Every structure is written in structure tokens, then in C-alpha cells.
Amino acid sequence: MSKLRVAVIGAKGRIGSEAVRAVEAADDMELVAALGRGDDLEAMTAAGAQVAVELTHPDSVMDNLEFCVRNGIHAVVGTTGWTEDRLARLRSWLDASPSTGVLIAPNFSIGAVLTMTFARQAARFFESVEVVELHHPNKADAPSGTATRTAQLIAAARREAGCPPQPDATTTALDGARGADVDGVPVHSVRLRGLLAHQEVLLGDTGETLTIRHDSLHHSCFMPGILLGARRVPQTPGLTFGLEHFLDLG
């Protein structure tokens, strides 16, 4: 059977370099291009790449994806910084290339995907819910893509269940003290040397709290999700947002 021809964009970065090793080690894949900043994207078409794994920076991802979609290269995207406006632009490119698939995953680790699922399930049962994400200090964006997505899923579940706004009697606060407001859910970002990627969802009600915590301890935790995405995205045209769509979560 022929191997899947995979390119990695952002190949020298923290997660990109791990992805290069993971693709090289996968029996069913061939690494055909490993691109860093300034490298010509045409190297992917010249090498016949079928799937590009995009792990760069919020400032770079749109140009890279426009190239991929225009050239019919499926994409697995871990880069963060997604907004409704950016998603709309991506969808318009995909409309013009209907057989191309793009998977955007705010987090490729199975534990983080489960954290989001559990948080969504729990959200309607508690009066209060806040998200704390903790990352290494080299991270460009805050809140993290995972925390933003988690808060959006929590907010949607609470809206569907008809939950009232959260209680909060704060009348005076230093700017930022109550975190960022993501659809009504406070999200707090910690940047600390020594950490990689961690998240706590704190839920509280009368007389009890529930904490859902996930810790990424090494970039290897993202690799099974990236490889799964690369295998599935060629059969999944259009935009898929979230690795959970490729997992049988029941």
C-alpha cells in the first residue's frame, strides 16, 4: 500500500519538530517536506504532499492554509488564534476546493479533548465555572486555544440548558483580575517557566466543587492526535473543528 505523503510546516518549532519525528516513525507515512520560516511553500507541491501539518504561529497560519487549500493539499492544523472571521475566510477557500479537507484542533492530546468533553457535560449542573490555563512563557497567544474552546463549549451547554449568568458580586477590580471573558466564562492565563500546557476547569455550587485538570507533560502527547488527523482528513472534505469529531467518544 502506498504511504501517505505528509509535509510539516513549522518543522523547527517545539511541536513541529516532534511532529517531524512522529511522521518519520509512522509506517504508513512518508515525510516529503519539512518547512521552516522563509521556506518556499511550493516545495510541498513539488514533493507531491497530500497532507500538510501546520504548526506555526497565528500570524502565519492563514497564508499557509490558503496555499494548501488552493493546491488541494489537505491540512491538519494545530496553530491557534482562530476567530469567526478567520474561520469564515477559510470556509470560503474550501468552498472553492470542495474535495479538500482541513482539520483544526485546538488540542491534539486525547486527555485535553476529554477535558473539554467532561467540562461541557458538567457545565449545566454548577452555578459557577471558571477556566485556568497554565503554559510555558514562550507562548504567543492568551488565552490558549484550548481554554477558549473549552469556555465556548461550556457557555453553549449552559445556554442550551437555560442556566442564568454566573454569580459575581465584584464591583471594583484591577484590570484583568477576573480574567478574560469568553462568552461569559472567566478564563485566567498563567505563563510560567517550567510548565508546558495545563488546564483546570473549576466548577462550583452550594457545598461542593468539581475540578477537571489536565496536564501535558511532553509534546509527544499531541502526536497520536496529529497522526490520526493526517490519516482521516483526506476522507473528510471541508472544515472539521476539533479532534473529537475523529474520535468515537460515545
Ligand X SMILES: NC(=O)C1=CN([C@@H]2O[C@H](COP(=O)(O)OP(=O)(O)OC[C@H]3O[C@@H](n4cnc5c(N)ncnc54)[C@H](OP(=O)(O)O)[C@@H]3O)[C@@H](O)[C@H]2O)C=CC1
Known binding-site residues for NAD(+) equal 10-15, 78-80, 105-108
Closer residue to ligand LZUJQKHR in complex, CB, 224/237: 224
Of the candidate residues 20, 35, 113, 230, the single one contacting ligand X (CB under 6 A): 35
Q: Where along the sequence are the contacts to ligand LZUJQKHR (CB under 6 A)?
A: 80, 106-107, 135, 139, 144-146, 197
Within 62-91, the residues that bind ligand X by CB under 6 A are 64, 78-80
Any contact of residue 242 with ligand X (CB under 6 A)? Answer: no
- The Cα-based distances of 55 to 2, 51, 166, 222 in angstroms read 25, 13, 36, 12
Within 203-222, the residues that bind ligand X by CB under 6 A are 222
What nine digits make up the cell of 177? 483580575
What nine digits make up the cell of 124? 449545566
Closer residue to ligand X in complex, CB, 64/189: 64
Closer residue to ligand X in complex, CB, 10/186: 10
Residue whose C-alpha is closest to residue 20's, from 5, 4, 36, 31: 31
- Smallest gap from residue 65 Cβ to ligand LZUJQKHR (A): 17
3-state secondary structure of 4: strand
Q: Of 13-21, 45-53, 65-73, 95-103, which segment contacts ligand X by CB under 6 A? A: 13-21
Active site members: 135, 139
**Binding site feature residues:** 10-15, 78-80, 105-108, 136, 145-146
CA gap 91, 66 in Å, rounded: 10
- Smallest gap from residue 146 Cβ to ligand LZUJQKHR (A): 3
Of the candidate residues 7, 105, 132, 227, the single one contacting ligand X (CB under 6 A): 105
- The Cα-based distances of 83 to 45, 87, 88, 90, 152 in angstroms read 28, 6, 9, 11, 12
- Smallest gap from residue 243 Cβ to ligand X (A): 8
CA angle in degrees (0–180, nearest 5) for 157-159-165: 115
Closer residue to ligand X in complex, CB, 31/203: 31
Any contact of residue 97 with ligand X (CB under 6 A)? Answer: no
Tell me the backbone φ, ψ of residue 69, rounded to 5 degrees: -65, -40
Of the candidate residues 67, 82, 93, 108, the single one contacting ligand X (CB under 6 A): 108
Residue whose C-alpha is closest to residue 128's, from 97, 168, 94: 168
Per-residue HEC secondary structure of 162-222 comes to CCCCCCCCCCCCCCCCCCEEECCEEEEEEECCCCCEEEEEEEEECCEEEEEEEEECCHHHH
Closer residue to ligand LZUJQKHR in complex, CB, 49/197: 197
3-state secondary structure of 40: coil
Q: Which residues bind ligand X (CB under 6 A)?
A: 9-10, 12-16, 35-37, 55-57, 60, 64, 78-80, 105-108, 145, 222
